[in-house]
Amino acid sequence: MPALALLAVSACSKRNDNVVTPNVGDKFPQIINLADEGDGGLEDEDKFSFKVGLIDRADPSGENLEGAIVPLKKAVRVNFAVTHFEGFNKLSDYIKEAKAFYEIDDCTTSEDKDIDLKLNFDVNTGKGSFEFPAGVEEVEIEFETNDALFDDDVLNTDDRKIEIQLTGIDNAGTNVTLNTANKFEYEVLDDESVFGEYEIDVNNATQFNSFVQLFGLINEDVKNLKAADVEEIKIEFAYNEFKAVITLKETEQVEECGEMEEVNKEIEIEGGIEELDTKTLAGAVEFADDIEQEDGTEAEFKYSGEFTLNGKNLVLTLKGEYNDNETEEITLNLNK
Amino acid sequence: MELKKLLIFFILMCGSGIAMAQRGIIKGKISGQQNEPLAGATLLVNGTTSSTAADLNGDYQFYVNPGNLNLTVRYLGYRDTTINVSLTAGQLKVINITLKSRQAALEGVVITGYTEGQAKALNQQKNADNIKNIIAADQIGKFPDPNAAEALQRVPGVTIERDQGEGRYVSLRGLAPQFTNTSVNGEQIPSPEADVRYVALDAIPSDQLASIEVSKALTPDMDGDAIGGSINLITRSAQSKKPTISGTLGGGYNNLMRKGNVQGQLQYGQRFGDKEQFGLLLNSNYYQNNLGSDGIERAINDNELETRDYELTRTRLGLSSALDYRFNNHHEVYFRTLYSRFTDREWRRRYVFKPSDEEIEKLTKDRFEAQSVLSMNAGAKHTFKSFLLDYEAQYSYAEQNTPYDNEAAFVAGIPSVLNYADTRYPSISTDEDYKNNSLYGFNELGMGNTIAKDKNLTAKVNVSVPYKINSSDGLIKFGGKVRSKNKSYNITQNTFENLGGVPNLDQFAGSPVKDKFMGGRYELGNPLDLSSLIRYFNANPSQFELQIADKAADEALESFEASEDVYAGYLMGRQQIKKLMILGGVRYERTKVSYSSKDVIIAANGDLEAIRPVTGSSVYDFVLPQLHLKYELDKFSNLRAAVTYSYARPNFSEIIPSQEINREDRVATIGNANLKPVKALNYDLMAEHYFGSVGIASAGLFYKKLDNFIYRRTIFNSPYPTTGTPIIPRIDITQSQNGNDADVLGAEIALQRRLSFIPFLDDFSVYLNYTYTHSKARIQSRQANEGNANATEEIRLPGQASHVGNASVAYEGKKFSARLSLNFNGSYLSELGGTKDEDIFIKNRMQLDATAGYAINNKFRLFVEALNLTNQPLQAYQGNSTQYIQREFYSYWMRFGVKFNL
């Protein structure tokens, strides 16, 4: 009777009314997900890839406060599919074949060690699957593509892209699941548009000084550059990214996978593209990023302006802002 | 300095020349015609200064010289009664006295119902050695006060802080709740809440209590950590051989939620044995209340406005027992338990309008919280020929268990315009329909649980030695106490964001809970059904991403473990010199505390950099001299004065070494394990006149000088850690620190009496009290910066209301009774802002309640109670009194039912 009375009393507290216990902690499964939302390559690119990885979990060792990948203890089979494509009629016209591999270290992949991830991919249906092995953090699926299919000499105004989604998982049990909602979108970048790599004439003092004035705002090494020290300067508009690489005449010895080689020193400036008109020969551009300060804080820089394409020539007019300083509008003349 | 005070006191005590002689003991019980104990009744030996007062159970005992004695019994509402007793040296005589109302009651005064409770309280108050207020159970029952906090709001000088319209925290004499000590049956109880020491008194149902004592000036046998005062909740015990079964059965109605509530109470008490040696009392009660509120909140600096729709279900379960066994007239043992469980299921549904971000956020929170307090006291009382001995051991445990605290947020990119032309009801305009749930995308889902535990183990012993110098009675009392406290707080928090695929809010929409919100001024549409979202989360975990760094920081930041050992001893003397009673003594308390928690360091780029374990400890001593004087002007009038020392320990949240170091914003908030308690010197003066027809008129003044007042200070460009090798060269550190003084000055007046002196109004009575308080404290100036870090400014103490009062008119006939009660809480500073303009104040609030009862017969009585009849809101303002930042409405609620006493 007293137990019954207590039960009746606790029922009145509504503790359990319409309460769903969430599956958190150990009950929250390992999640396999697409590593990126998208990528892009120029028209004559002969391959592209997407990566599939595990989502970070609370580090059991407690060392990594931001979390760590806890590899699977048992291999699972991951299914994927090309769910949408535009700009061509048949998938097999563009994708020729596929392979799957993972990185063992910076210089070695599973392919080098003849580890077979048992990739199946049907270029007609766009459906495929591969084995996500135990102990591995990320698997890369690489497609060999027809590099001639989109390689034209005209400015394209239609999209040419392909979308891939993960569709299912086999042998997973309850502890592993995968995100089927996210999409990886590969975009074919038109090399008649602003996309691509351009070079500044280092020997043109006006152009060189303009470059130094523009990007010296955010980089002390660039600010102090002398033309005589520079081998070449290239800038690139890539998928969601702006990049400027200054190759110096000075060289250094670097170790690359166990071998020493002499290479030119480089200064790199990168920014994420915030705005870019891509289906036109003239338009707006804006890119920005954060730079770590001496005290560990980060400050944002931003460059915005306009571009005009004339054949292989790009006229880029930009204004930079950083740490309460800004440049005036500076025009660069670049060639592909 | 502290030891010097102690030494002087001992010399004075030893030099006073104590004369002991072989004496007799008279003890017994004083009861009324229904066998009810007459607590506070006075017995005095005619022609001497020997007197005593009956305790809550009507029991009394005192040492007297042998001989043929005439004893006079005095009790408000009754005529004095004289009894003749013969006593030989060393003899113990039991004299039980029953006052028969027909013979003894004053003409024209019927001691029933409320008056009976009031009589008990006032008789005890009148005979008390120190300045205190007492409210008896019968008196509590006449006001519509379901919990101990609301019962206390009727006491002069008491302010309560409310939560969802219900009283929760109690402040005495203009000081914040942490300056008040709460005890059950004379021993402190731990707080279920993690970061504070004070107890949320809404967790304790008033039906559990026999009486509540509010001591405003401490005596040396009381714990010294109570600057505002000490609240003692006294549970019930068995009184007579005749079984008593009493209870309440009722229901109620909440107008805002349009829902009912239920309540019930059952009590059984009886004494067993041929000499009524064994007493047993069992009490249980239950109250389930469905309530809610409609509110708006404004964040001025961020230009944000929130609508807040609360729906709550609260339950209060109380179980108590009292067992006592009297071996003989000299020795007795007792065991008392009290268990209270308060649960609170809360749904909070909000819109947050953010014009600056061109966003509107829509959120729902679902939280269940259970606060439990268990207290078990076992002790004994011994009456020896020349001294009294009592001792007690107590185990008490408090817990706040929050098994789930879930909240989800969805965001829509809808611009809005807020207009504050009507500061009471700001208007909101949007281009798109903000109630359209399909526009809201998933933002985050937080799910957590916490548990806070607090355990006390206490042992104490008291020895009282009565003596007589010439014809003056005196008493020396000394004792000691040891208390060991362990407190901890653990947090589990999981916050998820969208990994990809979580649908918009329209997929998780529920049904509106209320027909109208804020009287129809704002529309809420269909709220987020959180359970529906969590079901989706369980079915589709792959679409949710755990925020791992947030989890680590959230779980580390406030968690702590603490232990605190208190050792106390006291020596006091009470001397009656004709009409003057002098009570003086000293109390010594030593506290050893240690804590462990974790530092959370946020890197300059905003990432979680490190979580480091930290520990802290401190030891502090207090010597607290106390002096009380009571002068009996006549048998109904007293003058009282007291000079006492007391202190208040800091809140746990202020002393645990837990820290948040945010290098990105260059600010740090760190605990201060070396924080000293606030020390106070208190002066009290009180004049009181009791009416023979049951009533009181009193007036008093008090002044408190606080040293080591605790305030939050920002140290600009400090190295971190503040001692040892710095790992951060310059950061602004905010920390609670000692150092500044504060003063509190107040006056209180009270009048309670029947209007029997006015023709046709003799069944009416009034209950009036008013307290004025003024305070000032110096803190580091909010204008201070690196250049003038020592600049100070004067503020009024947070929580201190200048004006507090009660007014109540009651009619009490033979069958029917009714009461109208007004409770007024003046405005007070609630939170100190970064600048004076950012200080947050709670506005004046006056609540009107009404009760009525009808006695069907001697055993059954119908009652009805209605609270907050004028729908008084909780209102907070910032900057000026019309710039509201919070307005919360509750409407009125009722209770009704039957009370029985079989």
pLDDT tens digits, B551-578: 998 898 889 999 999 999 999 999 988 8
User: For B137-205, where are the E strands, in sequence order?
Assistant: 158-163, 166-172, 180-184, 187-188
Whether B596 is in a domain gets the answer: yes
Q: Is A18 part of a structural domain of the chain?
A: no
Residue of A nearest to B610 (CA): A65
List all residues of chain B from 353 to 372 with a beta carbon under 8 Å from chain A. Answer: 366, 368, 370
Indicate whether B171 belongs to any domain: no
Residues A208 and A307 in one domain: yes
Domain boundary (A189, A217, A243) is at A189
Average pLDDT over residues A99-106: 95
Interface check for B403 against chain A (CB to CB < 8 A): the answer is yes
Structural domain includes residue A15? no
Q: Given an 8 Å threshold on Cβ–Cβ distance, is B345 in contact with A178?
A: no
DSSP, residue by residue, B38-51: -TT-EEEETTSS-E
Name the domain boundary from A161, A189, A217.
A189
Residues A208 and A134 in one domain: no
pLDDT-based confidence at residue B28 (cuts at 50, 70, 90): confident
Name which of A29, A59, A180 is nearest B541 (Cβ-Cβ): A29
Domain encompassing residue B851:
234-401+409-901
Residues of A in contact with B368 (CB under 8 A): 13-15, 19
* Banded model confidence at residue B112, pLDDT cuts 50, 70, 90: very low
Q: How confident is the model at residue B9 (pLDDT cuts 50, 70, 90)?
A: very low
Mark whether A276 and A314 lie in a shared domain: yes
Compute the distance between CA of residue B212 and CA of residue A86 in angstroms, rounded to an integer. 80
E strands within B654-788?
Answer: 659-662, 667-670, 678-691, 695-720, 728-754, 764-780
pLDDT(B79) > 60: yes
Q: pLDDT value at position B507? A: 97
Same domain (yes/no): A225, A120: no
The CATH number of the domain holding residue A94 is 2.60.40.2030
Query: Is the minimum CB–CB distance between A57 and chain B shorter than 8 Å?
Result: yes
User: What are the pLDDT digits (tens) for A122-152?
Assistant: 999 999 999 999 999 999 999 999 999 999 9
pLDDT of the residue at B743: 93
B195 or B544, higher pLDDT: B544
In a domain, A16, yes or no: no
Query: In terms of domains, do A58 and A85 share one?
Result: yes
Residue B116's pLDDT is what? Answer: 66
Higher-confidence residue of B842 and B836: namely B842
Q: Is the pLDDT of residue A258 over 90?
A: no
Residue B395 has pLDDT above 60, yes or no: yes
Minimal Cβ distance to B551: which of A58, A180, A295 = A58
What pLDDT does A10 receive? 63
Nearest CA in chain A to B264: A9
Pairing of strands B659-662, B637-648: unpaired
Q: Is the pLDDT of residue B543 over 70?
A: yes
At B7, which helix (H) or strand (E)? helix B2-14
Describe chain A by its helix, strand, coil percentages, rounded to 5: 10, 50, 40
Rounded to an integer, the average pLDDT of B150-169 is: 86
Residue B166: predicted pLDDT: 87
- In angstroms, rounded to a whole number, what is the distance separating the alpha carbons of residues A210 and A199? 14
> What pLDDT does A11 receive?
66
Closest residue by Cα to residue A246 from A196, A214, A202, A207 = A202
Å between B605 CA and nearest CA of chain A: 5
A131 and A175 in a single domain? The answer is: yes
Query: Is residue A17, in this structure, part of any structural domain at all?
Result: no
Q: What are the chain A neighbours of B546 within 8 Å (beta carbons)?
A: 28, 55, 57-58, 67
User: What is the predicted pLDDT for the residue at B150?
Assistant: 87
**Mean pLDDT, chain A, whole residue set:** 92
pLDDT at B207 over 70: yes
Count of the separate structural domains present in chain A: 2
Structure tokens, A322: 């950083």
> Which domain does A254 fall in, by range?
196-335
- The H or E element that residue B229 is part of is strand B229-235
Domain boundary among A127, A162, A189: A189
**Cα distance between residue B441 and residue B443, in whole Å:** 6
Is residue B726 within 8 angstroms of chain A, CB to CB?
Answer: no
Q: What is the mean pLDDT of residues B848-868?
A: 93
Residue A13 located in a structural domain: no
Locate the DSSP E strands across B503-658: 544-546, 560-577, 580-602, 608-634, 637-648
Are residues B548 and A56, on separate chains, in Cβ contact within 8 Å?
A: yes
Chain B positions touching A179 (Cβ under 8 A) are 499-501, 542-543
State the pairing for strand pair A30-34/A176-178. Answer: parallel
Same domain flag for A246 and A103? no
Chain A hits for B313, CB-CB cut-off 8 Å, are: 12-14
* A276-305: average pLDDT: 92
- Choose between B52 and A260: higher pLDDT: A260
The runs of H, that is alpha helices, within A125-251 are: 205-215, 220-223
Rounded Cα gap, residues B578 and A14, in angstroms? 61
pLDDT of A13: 82
Give the nearest partner residue to A22 out of B262, B538, B611, using CB atoms: B538
Please indicate, yes or no, if residue A19 is contained in any of the structural domains.
Answer: no
Domains in chain B: how many in total? Answer: 1
**How buried is B569 (Cβ within 10 angstroms: 0-12 exposed, 13-18 middle, 19+ buried)?**
middle
Across residues B74-93, what is the average pLDDT? 79
Q: Is residue B175 part of a domain?
A: no
**Average pLDDT, stretch B62-91?**
80
Domain CATH number, residue B283: 2.40.170.20
Is the Cβ pair B542, A19 closer than 8 Å? no
Nearest-CA distance A84 → chain B (Å): 17
CB < 8 Å to B366, chain A: 19
Report pLDDT for B109. Answer: 41
Residue B3 has pLDDT above 80, yes or no: no
Q: Is the pLDDT of residue B382 over 80?
A: yes
Dmax over CA atoms of chain A, in Å, equals: 97
- B32 within a domain of the structure (yes/no): no
pLDDT of the residue at B14 = 43
Asked whether residue A306 falls in the same domain as residue A200, the answer is: yes
Q: Is the pLDDT of residue B108 over 60?
A: no
Residues in chain A: 336
Q: Which residue has the tokens 């010199």?
A: B577
Question: CA-to-CA distance for B712 and B779, rounded, in angstroms?
Answer: 8
> Do residue B500 and residue A182 have CB atoms under 8 angstroms apart?
yes
The reply to whether B24 falls in a domain is no
pLDDT in tens, B161-200: 888 888 888 888 878 888 888 898 889 989 999 878 888 8
Indicate whether B381 belongs to any domain: yes
A224 vs A228, B683, B787, CA distance in Å? 12, 75, 38
> What tokens were used for A16?
């359990």
Q: Is B150 within a domain? A: no
Decide if pLDDT at A72 tops 60: yes
A323 shares its domain with A207: yes
* Together in a domain, A54 and A173: yes
> Residue A214: how many CB atoms within 10 A of its CB?
25
Let me know whether A32 and A176 are in one domain: yes
Touching check for A97 and chain B: CB below 8 Å? Answer: no
pLDDT at B50: 76
CB pairs under 8 A between A and B: 117
Interface residue B598 vs chain A (CB under 8 A): no
Work out the average pLDDT over B233-258: 90
- pLDDT score of B768 more than 50: yes
Segment B307-365, tens digit of pLDDT: 999 999 999 999 999 999 999 888 999 999 999 999 999 999 999 999 999 999 999 99
The answer to whether the Cβ–Cβ distance between A58 and B549 falls below 8 Å is no
Q: Is B551 exposed, middle or buried (0-12, 13-18, 19+ CB in 10 A)?
A: buried
- Give B728's pLDDT tier (boundaries 50, 70, 90): confident
How far apart, in whole angstroms, are the C-alpha atoms of residue B427 and residue B430?
Answer: 10
> Do both A38 and A98 map to the same domain?
yes
Judge contact between A119 and A78, C-beta under 8 A. no
How far apart, in whole angstroms, are the C-alpha atoms of residue B783 and residue B792? 9
Arithmetic mean of pLDDT, B835-859: 91
**pLDDT value of residue B20:** 45
The mean pLDDT value of chain B amounts to 88
User: Looking at residue A75, what DSSP letter applies?
Assistant: -
CB contact under 8 A, B541 and A28: yes
Across the range B398-420, mean pLDDT stands at: 97
